[in-house]
Amino acid sequence: DTEVTQTPKHLVMGMTNKKSLKCEQHMGHRAMYWYKQKAKKPPELMFVYSYEKLSINESVPSRFSPECPNSSLLNLHLHALQPEDSALYLCASSQGVGGLDGYTFGSGTRLTVV
């Protein structure tokens, strides 16, 4: 299995809702990442998990809450989002965090906040 699987593919949520995005990989990768991508812009890093521990938070608002329950799973919990949070949310993984290997990205969850 050489894929990163993200679910759901599309999500519409209200500003008072709580929802979660899920990311899964079975490549034995020990680093996992969340990125946010607005239309026609490059992906922006949100969080880095290394060996299931949060190692980088790029000053992301607390309405986004990441969780890494085990080495194969990464969740992003969403609460009280704003319409400007509508974007493509990408998950990625890599063997390590040392810059020596490539990332594998999922196809993303397209989130719309209404």
Partner 1 sequence: DAKTTQPNSMESNEEEPVHLPCNHSTISGTDYIHWYRQLPSQGPEYVIHGLTSNVNNRMASLAIAEDRKSSTLILHRATLRDAAVYYCIQRPTGTASKLTFGTGTRLQVTL
Give the interface with partner 1 as residue ranges (CB under 8 A): 4, 33, 42-45, 48, 50, 55-56, 90, 92, 97-108
Report the nearest approach of partner 1 to the CB of residue 99 (Å). 4
Q: DSSP per residue over 30-67, as a string?
A: SEEEEEEE-TTS--EEEEEEETTEEEEE-S--TTEEEE
d(CA 57, CA 64): 11
Is 44 or 52 the residue whose CB approaches partner 1 more closely? 44
Nearer to partner 1, 74 or 90 (CB): 90
Give the phi and the psi of residue 84 in degrees, each rounded to 5.
Answer: -70, -10
Lookup result for tokens 């993303």: 108
Q: For residues 1 and 16, which CB has a smaller minimum distance to partner 1 in the complex? A: 1
**Least distance from C-beta 3 to partner 1, angstroms?**
10
